[in-house]
Amino acid sequence: MGPAVTEGVAAPAAPTRREDLLERLARGGTWDLAVVGGGATGLGVALDAASRGLDVVLLESHDFAKGTSSRATKLVHGGVRYLAQGDIGLVREALHERTTLLRNAPHLAQPLPFVLPAYKLWELPYYGAGLVMYDALAGIAGLGRTEFLGRGKTLAALPTARPEGLKGGIRYWDGQFDDARLALALARTAAAQGALVVNYCEVTQLLHEGGRVAGLSARDAESGREFTVRARCVVNATGVWVDTLRQQDGKAIGRTVQGMVAPSQGVHVVVDRAFLPGQHALMVPKTADGRVLFAVPWLGKLILGTTDTPRDDLPREPRPFRQELEFILGESARYLVRAPGQGDIRSAWVGLRPLVRPVRNGDEPTKSLSREHTVLVSRSGLVTVTGGKWTTYRAMAEDVLERCYEAHLLPRGASGVTASLPLVGAPHRREAATPLSAPPGPHLYGTEADQVASLPGDRRDLGGGLTAAMVRFAARHEYARTVEDVLARRFRLLFLDARMAGDLAPEVGALLREETGLDPQVAAFRELAASYMQCAGV
């Protein structure tokens, strides 16, 4: 076991030379914990375990947050819609975790006011009562008081909302965040606490000894180098892909494994802020088909979403179905004076939610499946965690460690300290932060902004606010290997303006090649960016 971590200190940036990471992986010995999957859940588990002094290794087959964890609606929330479904426990836990996250990463997660416009008189008392209950559940963790707004104040908050038939509105508070950069902060904070986190290193096989999981085999995607990693405990945190590893485990011990994940597709569309200027988000609690619609200001653009569509396949780059785009644009037209059309779409992305499948009723609609997380320990000792949502990643991690203790896979030791552990870049004291509705820039680096500015190319603006220094920082300190890593997740341009991201790819690639000496995969990224634009017909 490693040294216990000092509580309440944000870690400084440290170089992430891949050669050093792989050499550490090759040293042999037995780790306390091996985590498979570098999304929100896996990174949260790695950080929690490292904060307790455990020896931790985390392996991700692609980039950190490549999958669902970079494709959220960008909301840190208790879940107003879950309240309507009666999931009081889930809402209360999420509201508590919302406050913790906003405190530990204020540069990446911040309060955001929402306005629910009411076009029927009954909507004001009906939804207002629910939102007042939402406040009550939050208690001292509340971000602001729910207010009933008259017609004039509603239009002042939502300047482009349709005025015809508007009766008033309800303002309430939740949070928003930069999901991919938060995942990166988790990875880097875990590394600062002693964990080894490696992206682009695929787990190819679980190792079993005497019917028990004893570690895993892995392969570096860049060099093809193979590794044997022995571990006392292995956690499967691969999101919608958890059943693949579970089935491999079951085959090794002669057991049939039933799938536990029913993927649901959520589509998000990005348009210019002109369609809804101001600092408020719009929330429609019940669309024509009973879903929730959000219009959220984020990094200088406006996110519209989301859908909830079942799908059976698990592509790494899922694309929107035509009817989903039509649904989002059509519902937006019911509430905005000037409705965006397909030609106004700057980017569109899809996230696959790992909803937990009911064992005795596998044909339920995905909206009725569980949003809560599930932790299972197989007969071989493989620990699987899936479900849940970004807001509760830290509580999920604590639950995973507790199950590891209960199953005697790890020796019970120090308690976790992540509730009060600032993430990389978090300011040491509360200060006014640039809102996440503003275009991307140095504010997203928090206390590391000066370190970024000290690198060559700080005054060289590549476009959209991205500087050459940011690209170099991504390569040296943020595990970036490809153009996609930089333009999709270190700097969110692919998700904001896919055409601009494609245009910047060659220049970003040249800088990455200088830093890493590797092929930055420019052509592959430009093809990906084009797919994010196809829905707009450009």
Q: Considering the chain, what percentage of its residues have pLDDT values greater than 90?
A: 81
Q: Is the pLDDT of residue 408 over 90?
A: yes
Backbone torsions φ then ψ of 322, nearest 5 degrees: -55, -40
Q: 289 or 467: whose pLDDT is higher?
A: 467
Which residues are within 8 A (CB) of 125 and not within 5 positions of it... i.e. 6 or more apart? none
pLDDT at 13: 61
User: Which of 78-92, 265-279, 385-399 shows the lowest per-residue confidence on average (mean pLDDT)?
Assistant: 78-92
DSSP assignment of 461-506: EEETTEEHHHHHHHHHHS---SHHIIIIIIS-HHHH-HHHHHHHHH
Q: Looking at domain 442-536, which CATH architecture does it have? A: Orthogonal Bundle (1.10)
The most confident of the ranges 363-367, 372-376, 514-518 is 514-518
pLDDT at 1: 54
Please state the domain extents for the chain.
29-68+181-257+367-420, 108-177+262-356, 442-536
What predicted TM-score, i.e. pTM, was given to this entire model? 0.94
Note whether 383 and 375 are within 8 A (CB).
yes
Q: Is the pLDDT of residue 60 over 70?
A: yes
Which residues are within 8 A (CB) of 380 and not within 5 positions of it... i.e. 6 or more apart? 208, 211, 212, 213, 249, 252, 253
**C-alpha to C-alpha distance for 520 and 309, rounded to whole angstroms:** 34
Q: Is the pLDDT of residue 368 over 50?
A: no
In angstroms, what is the C-alpha Rg of the chain? 23
**pLDDT digits over 149-192, tens only?**
999 999 999 999 999 999 999 999 999 999 999 999 999 999 99
**pLDDT digits over 103-147, tens only?**
999 999 999 999 999 999 999 999 999 999 999 998 888 999 999
**pLDDT digits over 483-511, tens only?**
999 999 999 999 999 999 999 999 999 99
pLDDT at 9: 42
| CATH level 3 topology of 108-177+262-356 | D-Amino Acid Oxidase; Chain A, domain 2 (3.30.9)
Q: Is the pLDDT of residue 413 over 60?
A: yes
pLDDT at 236: 98
* Class of the CATH-defined domain 29-68+181-257+367-420: alpha beta
DSSP tag of 276: S
